[in-house]
Chain A
């Protein structure tokens, strides 16, 4: 970067990488090393799901919305079937509610571990990355055992679930839960005890509570800014009101708080699944649904990244008249415009990743000046990792 502090430059991050689910284009406006503004452009992965859903039957839509996101692929069909059930006033059997809760919480564990790993990679702690992903793997294996797929579980249908959790699965699930609990605790202790990690995460990318409320952010992003919301508790659905658990809230608003929310939340998920396995009643797993009566319905659930919101309207035919989907990142991303301001370019990647959107974009960072490449994704990663090294060296002295 230039030494001229007065010169504003734009550092483009993004826009497109086919590996992850949400390509966005961040224009970092920088003065020297300092970030003074951010513009976000999106739409690179707009696939017209709302348009498509209005041309599909009610039973086909869960399969469509399952493919909105690869990481939280249970949340969208879950919210959609609840919207349809709200609209058609359909009851769900007890056992199905527990099975929905278990798959949903397993998904939260694997998603949060994914984030912890990537955050570790960003600040140059590749051990954290490898460990987090190593212990995420058994959770994916569980999904394969229960649903047949490591991702895109296709568990939800209107009126119930599509597959049962068999008694012979339960010991395996418990074994993985024990492992995950032990390892997440170890990881949490290791991360929070490390002065270098604390120096990198503490006080960085702060989103004040006022802005969090104004911008309507949801999920861990909101809870790390002291906004006490969680759809699982506020609007009890599935089996969340049958088991005891806590909503994890931290008031600081920085990246460290977001990391803590996610780590502690994974442990809460373990607790929820254990209680569900204990209390799960026997019985049918689905109710037969003849039709969705005319009306409108709203379904929402707490995805790993926050509230997923689905609105449907029915005219009594076999297709929804309107289907609105709102993913949590839609509300959370805009908060980056505030959270990243005033920090250095080395912290920018971490701040942008802290709301858990898509990391792919940072790999595509490239700054051109006079047609020559000055800066790219590797450079950003290197800068971030170098900063960690500098802090580490300073602490040694």
Chain B
């Protein structure tokens, strides 16, 4: 445990800290604490927001926010679980501007909604004919219609 994880646990009493190795800590919090926890890591501790990952698991969508503490070379990953029937979590972008694009990407590819995001339009497919509400990173995504070759229009 580092000084930062101790501080984190004092602030967020019901959080769960897991040490994978001395450079990788996973901090699990409830969904409604995500914004406060991200703001704590970013503003008070001075971590750099590296990226976020969304994972479709059996129990729900897991959202991971990776914060890099560059002074010590440790990555603190904030973890939360979002139920499948209500896939949304408050946006951290107003507090952590660096999360702007990745939240747009997660909305687009995994279908997680981020209320509070200033501009949640698709990041990658805004200029394509990709229909919205098809989420390729979900387990139940059917790729068959997308891999069938389209007939060549030889005009």
> Interface on chain A toward B: helix, strand, loop, or mixed SS?
mixed
In the bound complex, how far is the Cα of B8 from the Cα of A109, in angstroms? Answer: 41
Q: How large is the interface on A (under 10, 10 to 19, 20 to 34, 35 or more residues)?
A: 35 or more
Give the shortest distance, in Å, between A281 (CB) and chain B (any CB). Answer: 24
> Interface on chain B toward A: helix, strand, loop, or mixed SS?
mixed
Interface contact A214-B97, CB-CB below 8 Å: yes
Given A216-B50, A216-B97, A334-B100, 20 additional A-B pairs, CB 8 A:
A43-B122, A43-B126, A44-B127, A50-B109, A50-B137, A86-B20, A213-B48, A214-B98, A216-B49, A229-B48, A298-B66, A298-B75, A307-B50, A307-B68, A309-B51, A311-B53, A321-B55, A322-B53, A322-B55, A330-B102
Interface contact A42-B123, CB-CB below 8 Å: yes
Q: Give per-residue flags for B77-91: 1 if the beta carbon is below 8 A from chain A beta carbons, else 0.
A: 100000000000000
* A-B CB pair tally, cutoff 8 Å: 86
Binding site for B on A (CB under 8 A): 15, 25, 41-44, 46, 48, 50-51, 86, 89, 213-216, 218, 229, 231, 234-236, 295-298, 300, 307, 309, 311, 313, 321-322, 324, 326, 330-331, 334
Q: List 17 A-B contacts (CB under 8 A).
A: A25-B127, A43-B123, A43-B128, A50-B137, A51-B136, A214-B98, A215-B97, A216-B96, A231-B73, A296-B20, A298-B75, A307-B50, A307-B68, A309-B51, A311-B51, A311-B53, A322-B53
Give the shortest distance, in Å, between A394 (CB) and chain B (any CB). Answer: 39
How many chain B residues touch A (CB < 8 A): the figure is: 37
Q: Which of B62-79 contact A (CB under 8 A)?
A: 64, 66, 68, 70-75, 77
CB closest residue in chain B, given A213? B48
Interface contact A43-B48, CB-CB below 8 Å: no
Contact of A298 among B71, B77, B102 (CB under 8 A): B77
Lowest 9 A-B CB distances belong to which pairs? A43-B124, A216-B98, A235-B73, A326-B51, A324-B53, A234-B73, A216-B49, A322-B55, A229-B70
Interface contact B50-A326, CB-CB below 8 Å: yes
Interface contact A324-B51, CB-CB below 8 Å: yes
Interface contact A46-B97, CB-CB below 8 Å: no
Interface contact B101-A330, CB-CB below 8 Å: yes
* A236 and B73 in contact, given A25-B127, A43-B127, A215-B97 (Cβ under 8 angstroms): yes
Inside 8 A of B100's CB, which chain A residues have their CB?
Answer: 334
Inside 8 A of B98's CB, which chain A residues have their CB?
Answer: 214-216, 331
